[in-house]
A and B are shown apart, each in its own frame.
Chain A
């Protein structure tokens, strides 16, 4: 099952979720109505009829209308409220639980270790580096990821996890979280949270009413009723959550092993959880319980409604020979030296030498990497990619990685990576930057250092800068975007690689400054998108080829992949205009997953038309995929 199918399934599950929710709401409204009727009848019993009989009515349309109106308002209102609160991104969940951001230039060794593990994983999977948060008051070992798209992710780790887990174990946990991210589970989780909050809000309202005072006040009784009924809502809520999240935990565990090729790391982490627990003390833990890596609530009789499969089962899946003993925990700070925090452990076993051989990447890749292979790589990663990532990171000049982790120099670093190698062009680009002489000076300083950088390290370096760049204020970010635009315009059409680089950087920063609208696919058929596809394919064809005949040939190869019976797709040589391409990509991003798969396949065919995929073409392909929210891991030599 590939990335695109998983996305489709995640979307369908969201719809299913909404059905469950509707049923739960109906059940709750009926329960409240029944309770209210009992209450009303009890009142009416005080006045007996003239003939001595009491009136019991089961159906009172006025009461029913009132009750359902209030209930529906409260439920939907609070759901909408919560959903809109969560729409600004995953950091809302982290802050709700008391999290604080982990700084890019942290000096705490454990935090640095986590940062390095996460950065490696991000480079290995082609996703942006998620925002990192720490729960400083939680001693249990736990973690979670939240966010709407891959560009807007937050990973939050407890203090206990940082203290008690070794690098390998941390990598296993982060791999688990990344698999959730790549599967599109996160959007589902956020929606779930918003919806279930609606049902829970009745209990909250009931509690508030319970505290009102006054003689002959029916409100506290009504409040009690709401709490009792709200408990039904909580029951439904737990049921929905567990139905959705249990199976995915096993899948995420399996995916983590696939990413790291190290089942021991994750298994040991789980064994440590067995000992030190994973409970989250914050009162908001119930709301977010389905996000966590391990069970964040206390074990109860209602285990069958738990959001996670039992711990022992998970450990046995990973380590069939487990002896049933949990691992005692102790702080690992004494094992972590500064060097260890940075360097990964060397690859083990005979694969070691073979690994290193494969890491030497050629400048061009034979197009024998079939299009199908490229598509199957989308949204996944592997241990080879992880080794590649740590190799790239360890070979980078330390002053460059330091610059990437500090906001001001990160800005200068991005500018430096985009500057043209041609001196005259570069001079005019530097003139554009003179408005802020401090940054201009830093850019020049970093430019000379980037000359020594391997070309395969340029994109990873830009990826590493994202964390620090998130600290820009809104006006600073606006200036940043303007300056980048100016530099790219001066680079002209010749430079495809820098276009791809700046596109990736801005795409990854944008969700932080302009919260993403919850994008529902608007295009389920490719026909309305054909003009945009034409623009995209033409641009890609022109980028890789020089001869008009070759360009046309490349274009045709790509166009064949798309369902175009009316032959609307025509090569457009004026399409190589950056604003046009941007607009086309934005529209194409609203297509359903299967359509995106076809579009990516077409682009891959066009790129591979001349039999070789150049490095800049590969990066362009990754940039396009990134814009369509379909991350592609780095290309490795076969």
Chain B
């Protein structure tokens, strides 16, 4: 009888230890997930600022760039799709699909903005316009802030994903539906072009 009691006691204590470990690991995953979601909110704030600046930029440039309407429309369209993609991702940064949409839309926006700036170079009147200068500077500054916030977000996502994948917390992650988070990487359009090798 004694041995049975002791065994029972050990089993109970063992079970409790396991339960408490599971609770601890679960809470850890939740906290890491909250952290990267909060980090996305930082990106969101800066992106929104960018999206607010772009229509002003387009309006200021429109008067000067009568023959470049294509480029301007491209920028506006890219900005709109990036805006809605970001709004969706901000609702749920844990959804990898949503993040992929945003990074794709952002890449397109960066590309079209780059083309717009290249065009502006050949219009010295526009380049000297005060409002234009101010807007471009603010855009650059916001761009820097986005880069910084992106770095912080990617750091938090890495920590979360590592915790999610390592043993033994991956068992808990899988049982409670902790999905993998997506990194925020905006591909630069130049990098996508094939490298030209010339032997001349």
Contact = CB atoms under 8 A, between A and B. Distances in A.
Contact of A476 (B9, B12, B152): B152
B42 A407 contact: yes
Given A73-B13, A103-B41, A472-B152, A66 B159 contact: no
Interface stretch (A80-88, A301-309, A520-528, A589-597): A80-88
A95 B33 CA distance: 12
B31 A88 contact: yes
Interface string B19-49: 1100110010001001000110110010000
B34 A105 contact: no
A101 interface: yes
Contacts of A408: 144-145, 148-149
B39 A471 contact: yes
B147 interface: yes
Grouping DSSP codes into helix (H, G, I), strand (E, B) and loop, the B interface class, with mixed when no group exceeds half, is helix
A69 B19 CA distance: 16
A380 B151 CA distance: 39
A73 B9 CA distance: 10
B131 interface: no
B156 interface: yes
Nearest to A95: B34
Interface in A18-51: none
Interface string B130-165: 000000000001001101110111111001000000
A62 B5 contact: yes
Interface residues of B, number: 33
Given A406-B145, A473-B156, A476-B151, A84 B9 contact: no
Given A438-B144, A474-B155, A66 B24 contact: no
B145 A473 contact: no
Interface residues of A, number: 33
B145 A407 contact: yes
B8 interface: yes
Contacts, number: 75
A103 B155 contact: no
A475 B159 CA distance: 11
B155 A84 contact: no
Contact of B144 (A74, A80, A442): A442
Nearest to B46: A406
A95 to B, nearest CB: 6
A65 interface: yes
A475 B8 CA distance: 47
Given A408-B148, A409-B145, A81 B24 contact: yes
Contacts of B153: 473
Contacts of A475: 155
Contacts of A103: 41-42, 45
A66 B34 contact: no
Contacts of A474: 155, 159
B171 interface: no
Contacts of B141: 442
Nearest to B155: A473
Q: Which 7 interchain pairs have the tightest Cβ spacing? A: A473-B155, A408-B148, A473-B152, A438-B144, A408-B145, A81-B20, A73-B16
Interface of A: 62, 65-66, 69-70, 73-74, 77-78, 80-81, 84-85, 88, 92, 95, 101, 103, 105, 406-409, 411, 438-439, 442, 471-476
Interface of B: 1, 5, 8-9, 12-13, 16-17, 19-20, 23-24, 27, 31, 34, 38-39, 41-42, 45, 141, 144-145, 147-149, 151-156, 159
23 contacts: A62-B5, A65-B5, A66-B5, A66-B9, A69-B9, A73-B13, A77-B16, A78-B20, A81-B24, A84-B24, A85-B24, A88-B31, A95-B34, A103-B41, A438-B144, A438-B147, A442-B141, A442-B144, A471-B38, A471-B39, A471-B149, A473-B152, A476-B152
